[in-house]
């Protein structure tokens, strides 16, 4: 998952670390306040007239390799304040922006990541308490986490709200809403919640049968009407069933639609008025990249969105949609679909995703 982005970010990380080290070396080279020393307990200093080694010592001294200026700087910078030149890392940050854009990260998210990196890495003085590479990785983590937001815990929401919790799934045609509803139902059932599904896609031929097949496999009750029925009526009946039987969660499937189809969007508005969902979850494909980001924004503007589910994340080498959507529409991602099985859905945890994206050994 996100393999292309991971490999390219690893390369940028190495470049940033190298450029920052060079910037630090230039700072130290031009400073009279910092000199190389022997004793760690005293302020560093250089003997301007070092004592001449004896003949016995001479051979030992000449045989040992002298530490380079770079090595001395690296031994000194830890726990010290240094100036990191913005000019020195500007080119690499531009490389980072290009890489993010090439991996379908939306421009607003790219700008936010680059700005956060510049803010964290440069300034009048920075106290270095770790290796340069670790500092770069931390800056990348902080920038990505700021863009990704806090995520959304469905189980946490259910545990703190009146039941039944009603979740309405929306999205474009072919994004995998029906399968996603089944996966979320399976996830909730495994976690001890009772679930009923409303088959609100009465428009697509075979949708009722598809939903029923999924539900039979995972052992969840489905409320359905005949094909062509009013989806609002189906979902109203589903909510009433949940109330009557003490069900924890209602999952409502709907027909796929595009934001520019006024009649379908009006129908969705009617569904919302009748069902009164607690959560509106927008579903789209991670592999759609920037298209998914644009559609999520348009759906949010048209009918509102509370959270997002991205399908086919396992096939997404770029990761642009996952990074961009939460920042662009200001709504958290709830789940990632990572395969065809009912277990192939994972809660979206920003810290875990950032570790996935920045996976790899330290460069120095």
Q: What domains, with CATH codes, occur in the chain?
A: 3-37+72-148 (1.20.120.140), 154-356 (3.40.50.300)
**CA-closest candidate to residue 28, choices 68, 83, 79, 71:** 83
Arithmetic mean of pLDDT, 157-177: 95
| 130-134, 144-148, 231-235, range with the lowest pLDDT | 130-134
Residue 39 is predicted with a pLDDT of 38
Mean confidence (pLDDT) of the chain: 84
Q: Report how far apart, in Å, the C-alpha atoms of 258 and of each of 66, 125, 174 are.
A: 68, 51, 11
Residue 33 is predicted with a pLDDT of 43
60-91 as b/e: b if 16+ CB within 10 A: eeeeeeeeeeeebbbebbeeeebbbbeebbee
**What are the backbone dihedrals phi and psi of residue 71, each rounded to the nearest 5 degrees, phi first?**
-60, -40
The tokens describing 305, both together, are 């969105």
The tokens describing 346, both together, are 């994972």
Arithmetic mean of pLDDT, 244-258: 93
195 bridge partner residues:
249
Per-residue pLDDT reduced to its tens digit, 22-58: 777 766 655 544 433 333 444 343 333 444 555 555 4
User: Greater confidence, 228 or 55?
Assistant: 228
Per-residue pLDDT reduced to its tens digit, 304-330: 899 999 999 999 999 999 999 989 999
Asked if pLDDT for residue 363 goes beyond 60, the answer is no
CA–CA separation, 164 vs 158, rounded Å? 8
Per-residue pLDDT reduced to its tens digit, 96-112: 999 999 999 999 999 99
346 bridge partner residues:
336
pTM of the model: 0.81
Q: Report how far apart, in Å, the C-alpha atoms of 63 and of each of 16, 25, 57, 86 are.
A: 35, 26, 10, 40
């Amino acid at each position: 998952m996100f393999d292309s982005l991971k490999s390219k970010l690893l390369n940028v990380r190495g470049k940033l670390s190298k450029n920052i080290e060079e910037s630090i070396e230039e700072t130290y080279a031009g400073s009279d306040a910092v000199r190389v020393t022997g004793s760690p307990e005293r302020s560093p200093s250089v003997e301007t007239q070092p004592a001449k080694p004896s003949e016995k010592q001479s051979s030992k001294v000449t045989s040992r390799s002298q530490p380079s200026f770079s090595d001395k700087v690296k031994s000194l910078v830890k726990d010290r304040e240094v100036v990191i030149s913005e000019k020195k890392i500007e080119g690499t940050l531009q490389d980072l922006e290009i890489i993010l854009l090439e991996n379908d990260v939306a421009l607003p998210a790219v700008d936010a990541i680059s700005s956060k990196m510049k803010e964290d890495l440069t300034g009048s003085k920075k106290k270095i308490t770790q290796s340069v590479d670790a500092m770069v990785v931390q800056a990348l983590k902080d920038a990505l986490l700021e863009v990704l937001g806090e995520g959304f815990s469905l189980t946490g929401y259910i545990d703190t709200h009146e039941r039944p919790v009603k979740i309405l799934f929306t999205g474009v045609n072919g994004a995998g809403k029906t399968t996603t509803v089944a996966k979320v139902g399976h996830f909730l059932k495994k976690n001890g919640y009772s679930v009923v599904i409303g088959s609100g896609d009465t428009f697509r031929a075979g949708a009722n049968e598809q939903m029923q097949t999924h539900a039979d496999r995972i052992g969840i009750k489905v409320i359905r009407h005949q094909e062509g029925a009013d989806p609002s009526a189906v979902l109203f009946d589903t909510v009433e069933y949940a109330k009557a039987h003490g069900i924890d969660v209602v999952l409502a499937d709907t027909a796929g639609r595009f934001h520019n189809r006024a009649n379908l969007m009006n129908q969705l508005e009617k569904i919302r008025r009748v069902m009164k969902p607690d959560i509106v979850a927008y579903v789209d494909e991670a592999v759609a990249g920037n298209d998914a980001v644009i559609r999520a924004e348009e759906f949010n503007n048209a009918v509102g969105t509370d959270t997002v589910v991205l399908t086919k994340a396992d096939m997404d080498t770029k990761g642009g949609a996952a990074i961009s959507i939460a920042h662009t529409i200001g709504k958290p991602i709830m789940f990632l679909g990572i395969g065809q099985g009912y277990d192939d859905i994972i809660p979206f945890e920003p810290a875990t995703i950032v570790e996935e994206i920045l996976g790899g050994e330290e460069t120095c």
